Structure 1
């Protein structure tokens, strides 16, 4: 009897322990599931927000609703004060994805900025022909074409600026007929687009001479990219080559021009070749300092390394309307150029700039330590490396690195 009582007591104690363990396990699982659900929710919101969405825009000018695809940057909801460049893509049914994919990929590596992409659908009811209608004798938009010109350049952009955080830099793109249509915005006294991308343009009358003539006198910055392919019609290739021959002599600091001729490419496959070239052409100054830029522009300087860096980011802000901290990797590139050319005094100036952009990071104290190290003041170098140790790591700078550099000078 006593043995049975003891066994029952033990079973009850085990049951209590197992019950507590189970409750704790359930609580832990619930807590974990809440975290997982929260993470998944945030991921899905971010992912969904960055995906293209269809929108219908009512137009008084066209007297109809126009279907557009809109893709907002992945950071759009998170960065509520940020404004973004606007890319308008004509022939959205097949051109939208040609831009959306490369931009997403290149932005992951910080080579290209995030932007708002808006694609205008023009092929459901053969709208592109009426949208691009011109008067043959003048080579200018008429009737439906004139209405679409006003819709795209006025009504649509006004609508987008009210709906989204559109920045000052605007790009327009098209292929064939729609590519040529974008040139009409260059005919205006004040072009509303800053950059033009076209593939295999089917030029309107006199356009091969009118476009170069306009670019020769336009005072504002204009980025102009176009291409042709072996698969384009012979007449198309001939006229585009003629336009290129008139473009090349235009040597103005505000005109950024590029023309690509793709061999063994069709009229449509040239788009996949040309989109990356066009985007990298337009945003070349936006990109982090590359090995090529370092060797050909930065390393060859005798002085003014810090000025080069600040001017680069001032150009980004002025040209594209984007302001952000100087990349840590660009600080390191300038540091390398300064050290290579023994211009050590500029390290102090670079350190001051780093402290302005990253006050809580170790970058500024690290650069100051390198200055003292290179000028032979090991005591101050050790102190600065130690100061950096207690600040936040950034880029490839770590606490272990600061400790090792300090110890190497003892």
Structure 2
């Protein structure tokens, strides 16, 4: 309880601190023939760093979800668990019935549902991408009937949404058939990464729980490498509490690749790799982060250390040179590239080349870095030989 309260306080603090970054915009829509109110959150540093791009999150039900999503996105970014995001909330206070209420018996969207769908697809996304520095990664977040509408974006012949976050979804009685018609196999042909989050909750009626459970069970057998299905079940007594839990739980899964290498990731994907494969895994992880999130993220030392043991202990450490070369190629400002190349040459008794790389690496370090003295010990040790 204390931990949850602390997180809530932190989120509220973040919202207050960055409230000056929220823009209100009345967007004129040719499709809806009306103006719709948007709230746009620009992350800290957006104005200062004018070359960086950010993932785009589109939040339906702005009055209910926008603040909670922004607060969680700030918290995750502060903890280096997710990239900073541009978040746009669509106001639906007076229009949700027309925008998202559909025929529960048939599952078919009404004409006003289809119009709102096209408004989001053709006007909101276009406005955001043409006005702000967005990366290719797009998330849709909605609750109830809005979550159902989000699921319909899965039917696009050419997928362009990366994460579909369906919180407390209200689906039709034919939702399984609808999902079958979306041909989810098409996602496996795309050179991209996708996420579908659907939560169930003990706070729902028995009928609703059963409907969602049946859909989740039908999705479990699907195994597409780049299409990640996140079936969640939240134990709570109210749908409001479920919303509060679903947002961070979905973020944790969707941006898992952005996070530094966890023990779970290491045990599942890395520990049995050869040194060259481990090096390639690390390089591809950062390439994917850059591609998806537009984040020119400097390599984290702890990610390098995660594969260091494999490279040193397997194949007599002969792949230390390849590790250093990869780091220098992708992250030339990191001293660790020169360190591993220096260590490789030292193991081969080529002390002159080893010393040169140790010196170059030390020159890249801030003198205030607590590790700089230890790094310099390599220079002194070889310099005295």
Structure 2 residue matching 1:111: 3-state secondary structure: coil
Alignment of structure 1 residues 307-322 onto 2, 5 Å? 307-322=280-295
Q: Does 1:225 align with 2:197?
A: yes
- The one of 238, 241, 244 equivalent to 1:266 is 238
- For 1:393 and 1:403, locate their aligned partners in 2 and report how far apart those are by CA, in whole Å: 12
Task: Quote how far apart the aligned CAs of 1:88 are.
Answer: 0.6
8 Å contact from structure 1 (residues 90, 120) kept in 2: yes
Aligned position for 2:213: 241
Identify if the C-alpha distance between structure 1 residues 84 and 387 changes in structure 2 by more than 3 Å, giving closer, same or farther.
closer
Structure 2 residue matching 1:261: 3-state secondary structure: strand
Task: Quote how far apart the aligned CAs of 1:148 are.
Answer: 0.9
Task: Quote how far apart the aligned CAs of 1:329 are.
Answer: 3.2
Superposed CA deviations along residues 30-71 of structure 1, whole A, max 9, x for unmatched, are: xxxxxxxxxxxxxxxxx6586323221111221221112110
Aligned position for 2:363: 390
Task: Quote how far apart the aligned CAs of 1:289 are.
Answer: 1.7
- The one of 74, 79, 88 equivalent to 2:49 is 79
TM-score by length of 1: 0.80
8 Å contact from structure 2 (residues 55, 293) kept in 1: yes
Q: Does 1:175 align with 2:148?
A: no
Task: Quote how far apart the aligned CAs of 1:241 are.
Answer: 0.4
TM-score by length of 2: 0.85
Structure 2 residue matching 1:54: 3-state secondary structure: strand
- The one of 282, 297, 303 equivalent to 2:275 is 303
Q: Does 1:335 align with 2:308?
A: yes
Identify if the C-alpha distance between structure 1 residues 245 and 357 changes in structure 2 by more than 3 Å, giving closer, same or farther.
closer
Aligned position for 1:4: none
- For 2:175 and 2:71, locate their aligned partners in 1 and report how far apart those are by CA, in whole Å: 31
Task: Quote how far apart the aligned CAs of 1:336 are.
Answer: 3.3
Task: Quote how far apart the aligned CAs of 1:96 are.
Answer: 0.9
Superposed CA deviations along residues 295-322 of structure 1, whole A, max 9, x for unmatched, are: 4322321232221111212333444454
- The one of 1, 21, 29 equivalent to 1:59 is 29
8 Å contact from structure 1 (residues 83, 322) kept in 2: yes
**Worse-superposed segment, 149-158 or 390-399:** 390-399
- The one of 359, 367, 374 equivalent to 1:401 is 374
Q: Does 1:285 align with 2:253?
A: no
Aligned position for 2:329: 356
Identify if the C-alpha distance between structure 1 residues 48 and 263 changes in structure 2 by more than 3 Å, giving closer, same or farther.
closer
- For 2:103 and 2:344, locate their aligned partners in 1 and report how far apart those are by CA, in whole Å: 67
Superposed CA deviations along residues 206-225 of structure 1, whole A, max 9, x for unmatched, are: 12332255253323343101
**Worse-superposed segment, 246-255 or 135-144:** 135-144
8 Å contact from structure 1 (residues 226, 258) kept in 2: yes
Alignment of structure 1 residues 42-191 onto 2, 5 Å? 51-123=21-93, 125=94, 127-135=95-103, 138-191=106-159
Task: Quote how far apart the aligned CAs of 1:352 are.
Answer: 1.9
Superposed CA deviations along residues 91-133 of structure 1, whole A, max 9, x for unmatched, are: 111211221112111111221011110111112x2x1111113
**Greater RCO, 1 or 2 (C-alpha within 8 Å, sep 6+):** 2
Q: Does 1:294 align with 2:262?
A: no
- The number of equivalent residue pairs is 362
What are the ranges of 5 or more consecutive residues in structure 2 without an aligned counterpart? 1-16
What are the ranges of 5 or more consecutive residues in structure 1 without an aligned counterpart? 1-46
- For 1:134 and 1:180, locate their aligned partners in 2 and report how far apart those are by CA, in whole Å: 9
What CA RMSD, in Å, does the superposition of the two structures yield over aligned residues? 2.6
Greater Cα radius of gyration, structure 1 or 2 = 1
